[in-house]
Amino acid sequence: MIAQNAPLAFVKMHGAGNDFVIIDSRGQQPGGVMTAELARAIGDRNRGVGFDQLAELRDSGAADLDLDFWNADGSRAGACGNATRCVAARVMAERAVEKLRLQTARGILLAEKRGARIWVNMGQPVLDWHDIPLAHACDLDHLPLPGDPVAVGMGNPHCIHFGPDAEAAPVAERGPQVEHDPLFPQATNVEFASLLAPDHLRLRVWERGTGITLACGSGACATAVAAHRRGITGRRVVIEADGGQLDVDWRADGVWLTGPVAHVFDGVFAADFLAGAR
């Protein structure tokens, strides 16, 4: 909970158009300051700041920092690859280091700076129906849903559709329908992908709790895994999202993700805004 009239600073960043508000709660109360009500207020693009996800940094006893994720509707996200890269870029610059360990609901994720790029190991894909989770056992590579999609877990559930032209995919129509399909008891992210060239995919995304986004890091990872399992691509894939290019490399130690990172602006929430968001 935020103390009365206490200022709350934030940073706005994006990775390939996937945009985030970052709150640094290190040095404050152990549980952080974020609540579902405050996340919804900040996520309102008309009355707040707006974001695809919010990331809150907290002190950690097991890693370099703890990292929590919130969706724009106030729900929690288990993973967010592009936000993790943005946070890693900022903290690496702050500490003058090239490696970080970040504790998330997904587990401890390793971030590395290689040249000008920040890579994050998003861990191994979840390929068990119970752990994704699904409502019942089924063939993950051919779900019993229209469009013959694939299910992959990357800290969040993902339902990936492959077709001839992702540009023509009915993302706004099918996205919310699949997000809340009974097969996904915790809802799901929904991806629509098509092959542009060998190991090169076009991707459009509907994120649970948010809607259409310009990119999705965990979604790019899940799509690359699904494409390889379907025999469409190899294990290293270029992903063309609406907001830019992401690169995914599924290695023996996990699924690595990289792409552009941008710092947009810093700000401080007004006391009146915070009071109304409690």
Distance CA 85, CA 158 (A): 20
How much is the CA Rg of the chain, to the nearest whole Å? Answer: 18
> Which CATH number applies to 8-122+261-277?
3.10.310.10
pLDDT level of residue 5 (50, 70, 90 thresholds)? low
Q: How, if at all, do strands 236-241 and 200-207 pair?
A: parallel
Residue 2 has pLDDT above 60, yes or no: no
User: Could you report the per-residue pLDDT of 87-136, keeping only the tens digit for each?
Assistant: 999 999 999 999 999 999 999 999 999 999 999 999 999 999 999 999 99
Q: What span, in angstroms and rounded, lies between the C-alpha atoms of 183 and 181?
A: 5
SS3 27: coil
Q: In this predicted structure, what is the pLDDT of residue 31?
A: 82
Instruction: Compute the average pLDDT of residues 34-49.
Output: 96
Supply the pLDDT for residue 269.
Answer: 96
Query: Homologous superfamily of 150-252 in CATH?
Result: Diaminopimelate Epimerase; Chain A, domain 1 (3.10.310.10)
**Domain spans in the chain, listed from the N-terminal domain onward:** 8-122+261-277, 150-252
pLDDT per residue as tens digits for the range 221-238: 999 999 999 999 999 999
Residue 28: pLDDT band with limits 50, 70, 90? confident
Q: What is the mean pLDDT of the chain?
A: 95
Residue 251, Cβ density class (10 Å: 0-12 exposed, 13-18 middle, ≥19 buried): exposed
What is this structure's pTM?
0.94
Helix axes 217-229, 81-95, angle to 10 degrees: 120
| Positive or negative torsion for Cα 113, 206, 145, 203 | negative
pLDDT band at 1 (very low <50, low <70, confident <90, very high): very low
Q: Which of 233, 228, 207, 226 is nearest to 142 (CA)?
A: 226
Active site residues: 80, 216
Confidence of residue 277 (pLDDT cuts 50, 70, 90): confident
Q: For 130-177, how does the pLDDT look when each residue is reduced to its tens digit (9 = 90+)?
A: 999 999 999 999 999 999 999 999 999 999 999 999 999 999 999 999
Task: Describe the chain by its helix, strand, coil percentages, rounded to 5.
Answer: 20, 40, 40
Return the closest-CA partner of residue 8 out of 20, 21, 18: 21
Decide whether 8-122+261-277 matches 150-252 in CATH topology.
yes
Count CB neighbours of 17 within 10 A.
Answer: 16
User: Where is 213: in which H helix or E strand?
Assistant: strand 211-213
Please identify which residue in the block is written with the tokens 């290019």: 245
